[in-house]
Amino acid sequence: MIRWIRQQLGFDPPHQSDTRTIYIANKFPQHGHYIPQRFADNRIISSKYTIWNFVPKNLFEQFRRIANFYFLIIFLVQLMIDTPTSPITSGLPLFFVITVTAIKQGFEDWLRHKADNEVNGAPVFVVRSGSLVQTRSKNIRVGDIVRVAKDETFPADLVLLSSDRAEGTCHITTASLDGETNLKTHYAVPETAVSQSVSRLESLQAVVECQQPEADLYRFVGRITVTQQGEEIVRPLGPENLLLRGARLKNTKEIFGVAVYTGMEAKMALNYKCKSQKRSAVEKSMNTFLIIYLGILLFEAILSTILKYAWQAENKWDEPFYNQKTDQERNSSQILKFISDFLAFLVLYNFIIPISLYVTVELQKFLGSFFIVWDLDLYHEESDQKAQVNTSDLNEELGQVEYVFTDKTGTLTENEMQFRECSINGIKYQEINGKLVPEGMSEDSPDGSVPCLNREEELFLKAVSLCHTVQISYDQTDGLGDPFSHANGFSPQMEYYASSPDEKALVEATKRMGVTFMGSHGEITEIKTFGKAEKYKLLHVLEFDADRRRMSVILQTPSGEKVLFTKGAESAILPYTKSGEIDKTRVHVDEFALKGLRTLVVACRHFSVDEYQDVDRRLHEARTALQQREERLVEVFNFIEKDLELLGATGVEDKLQDKVQETIEALRLAGIKVWVLTGDKHETAVSVSLSCGHFHRTMNILELVQQKSDNECAEQLRRLARRIKEDHVIQHGLVVDGASLSLALREHEKLFMEVCKNCSAVLCCRMAPLQKAKVVRLLKTSPEKPITLAIGDGANDVSMIQEAHVGIGIMGKEGRQAVRNSDYAIARFKFLAKLLLVHGHFYYVRIATLVQYFFYKNVCFITPQFLYQFFCLFSQQTLYDSVYLTLYNICFTSLPILVYSLFEQLVHPHVLQSKPALYRDISKNSKLSFKTFLYWTFLGFCHAFVFFFGSYILMGEDTTLMGNGQMFGNWTFGTLVFTVMVITVTLKLALETHFWTWMNHFVTWGSIAFYFIFSLFYGGIIWPFLHTQDMYFVFVQLLSSGSAWFAIIIIVITCLFPDVIKKVFYRHLNPTSTQKSQMYTNRVAIGDDFIALQPLSRAKNQLGKISLLSPTRASDAWTPCAVSQRGKTPAHGWAGWWSE
């Protein structure tokens, strides 16, 4: 019980050791010195709260917000001292905000609890006491032997012990973890693979030692010690032996595995990502404005307190005859009285801080994010994928992007590889009709004949078909199928799966050329060379990693010879070769790269018996090491992969995605600089940059590549800076490689940034994942603090995506890690244009107006209260009734601005896409600049003065506004001011609205009508639970006066007419490009009024009737973005749009 309490409070100490020891089937040693390690149970907890901590934890989180905490303090002050307004005026709005937020968060957490219970209660089979026992997933303990059947998911992280196959292999998919749908093969060690029954597993004596849990899905270091007949056999364990929780068993009847990481220590749980903690520029501005308004509030409260005491210096005002002080009041401390009065004024003016702003902003972001998901223009039919929003906190940031950092492969390109060319022994070859033909020669062998390959060609094709991690899936269904190349021994039911599209393309190419990979069975790998089967024994796999940039296999050939085949980037292979046509191959690789092909170099090494024994021993020692295993393995791999014989190189094409060039051009016209960050070699990256429009043919390409030292790098940077200054008229593009970038960032960061900022486009090639993140951070933290966006599709882009202000994942073929770690996800790069230029523009304009309008209406609200104190001797008399104080922000003025912030369109979506330069009008947070903020604040004060003094002039000298001579009083005056204010601030928003829907009309006029109906109802009844009946019949009496109606109309017109005049003059004398485009909008948007905010089916029907828009399709069902381009572009397409 004590341990459970300590765990709940977070005091239970973590694991003391760097490794954990797991006794399989929990057979602990019998000697008394053994102290069992404590491990987590197998419960998954994704929920944030429990039934016990929900209230305190949620309240703590909500009161961390400055506005909520401020209103709590005000509420407590109202409870403690005698204040002019009821505690309900602060308490009720605060309670409403806190309750709404708590209900929302509580409901979301309840759904998480429900999902957790479903997972934790799933039935599983565990080996216990010599039999197979069914239990719940949450009851699995570390050391339990778990049975998993075909198509089931693994309930914990398991080390594979055995499968229904004799060799102890199984196939799994990790789609739910990283999105990769290819089959992966995992292995059991030979000593446990034979234990295929429950009885044999029960008698198994084995211990697993492994590292403590870590989040990296692809890293696992451990070893298993199996005791057989008194002898201990030690085998290394790596990622290929670990079955991750959440992965699914495929093409295997059943497996048995021992649980090593359970519950929240499983790798899947350690990869759970919390909601993005990135903060938008708008949110930062909002907090700044709140602090300024807090300063205004304190100034007003202090000034009022000082003026009160200055006024009361005269006895006739300090203690008038009609309000004599008590003895206690006369003897009380002056300091305490001053503090009490200051707090009372603070309470009186506290509504200048808008408490409901946070709730409205949160609601606007949450509801607004659905428009991205619903937008059919962001839906990709081929892959059936729609846009995805992982966090709605950054919607408006999409409208502020200044730099886009993009990956190349899979982001700008399709990541669909096609084999095009290769170089073998210094001769270039092309594939023609499935045959390998030297360049310059035509296919001359007759159909049906077996092409003759020389030794070098055959060895090259064998190396390519054997050195990979491709898996084969056999379709179990019997069908006739199309007759494929039976001469090659290829069955139509056989399909290749690979984690790398390059490998799949190469293996399929060798199959077409006659060397067919037939699959692996345990240690045996089989290929067919023109129908003749050859079996190779797989001895070792030297896995690919981003630092080495190569992978290798060590095989035993049918003749018994030991040979190493390796492939990788030319920079990772050529320096380690000692024979072969090195110079010719290097030239060919550069030629392939200039054509935009992805290149790989292939080499081999033949081992003598002694050499192989040394290699085998070193590999075993490194792989069984528990400490510094990775470092030791890298050292051994480098020892093995040297003295290579160069076989040749391959060139694979990755075609560009649709409309990449138009999208990059649109971003450039919008004032957004595009940087391409890729791991590809220099020539390939430059070729693709030119073809996709990132670099123009007329652009002056500057290079910072192959720098060897700091001094050399600095000198080159100075040369580039001079060239840019001399040729400042033309555009420049910069190419940087990874090695030169490391030197530039080490000591010459400022100079490098100066060069980069003066270039229109930057291309960084040969980049490691962390270097991508460093480049983003460099720009992000520069003095200008630009807003950055990173977009990528692979695991190597995750660090860049997380570093940028906005991270976008592409739903590509490299798994889902980028998507899971992104803020937004789209299926294709071309969708980025609409996401930024349209959705980003809308969200930013909407929320910028929302924030400033909130401050404006609260200045209008509270300034008359401040002015009123000059006319009531600063007695802290409130101008408005408490109910009006409470409901002003909650009911009377909340809905119009919320609906505005969801549906407003300053410019039609078509125009925003056709004129990307409009994006510049909202850049650098221009709509929330200090100048704009001051304008709205000044407007609020001006309107407040007109409300107050307009009403005062009407009633100041003669309060007889009724025909029968009846006089009006204090509450009537306050109600008149409040009525004028509610109408004016609502109509002010109506003036700001450009896109009217039925919902805007409903909430705008409905809010005014609701205020009148509520006031009549509230003032027409004597409410028994109210202490005073101040407002009884006040509103009815006010409305029965013709003078009051005249005053309301005159004051509202006086407030808004100058605003209308200003808008008209500015629009005609000095219109912005956005205002000019609004004229154009009216011509484009014919028929849209009928389509906006209607179901998709009805919108499509109406679109069909509008001949002008017949080439387009309905988009944005249920959103105001009613008509958007899909499919074929109408007469003025992308090219025409840019020129307009």
Tokens describing residue 447: 């159909």
Its sign, for the CA torsion 149, 155, 161, 167, is: positive
Give the C-alpha separation, 356 to 97, whole Å.
7
Cβ-Cβ contacts under 8 Å for 659 (sequence gap 6 or more): 830, 1134
Q: Residues 144, 157, 377, 407: which is the catalytic one?
A: 407
Query: Which phi and psi angles does 977 have, rounded to 5°?
Result: -60, -45
Q: Given strand 254-261, what is the order of strands in its sheet?
A: 131-136, 123-128, 145-149, 254-261, 157-163, 242-243
Its sign, for the CA torsion 716, 721, 726, 728, is: positive
Nearest to 764 by CA among 410, 405, 413, 409: 405
Helix axes 894-903, 998-1019, angle to 10 degrees: 170
Dump the DSSP string for 284-351: HHHHHHHHHHHHHHHHHHHHHHHHHHHHTTSHHHHS-TTSPPPHHHHHS-HHHHHHHHHHHHHHHHGG
Paired with 136 in beta bridges are: 123
Residue located via tokens 């889902």: 816
Any catalytic annotation for residue 407?
yes
Q: Are 314 and 831 in contact (CB under 8 A)?
A: no
Its sign, for the CA torsion 303, 304, 309, 314, is: positive
Buried b (16+ CB within 10 A) or exposed e, 172-207: bbbeebbbbebbbbbbbbebbbebbebeebbebebb
Other beta carbons within 10 Å of 56 = 10
Give the C-alpha separation, 581 to 545, whole Å.
26
Q: Look at phi and psi of residue 517 and say left if phi exceeds 0, alpha if psi is from -120 to 50, else beta.
A: beta
- Our separate counts of H helices and E strands in the chain read 42, 37
Tokens describing residue 1079: 């004229």
Task: Give me the amino acid identity at 909.
Answer: P
Query: Which phi and psi angles does 593 have, rounded to 5°?
Result: -65, -40
Cβ-Cβ contacts under 8 Å for 234 (sequence gap 6 or more): 223, 224, 225, 624
Give the C-alpha separation, 427 to 952, whole Å.
97
Helix (H, G, I), strand (E, B) or coil at 965: coil
Tokens describing residue 739: 């090695």
* Full 3-state SS string of 878-943: CCCCHHHHHHHHHHHCHHHHHHHHHHCCCCCHHHHHHCHHHHHHHHHHHHHCHHHHHHHHHHHHHH
Tokens describing residue 341: 């009065």
**What is the Cα Rg of the chain in Å?**
37
Give the C-alpha separation, 139 to 121, whole Å.
9
Helix (H, G, I), strand (E, B) or coil at 833: helix
DSSP state of 154: P
Catalytically active residues, by annotation: 407
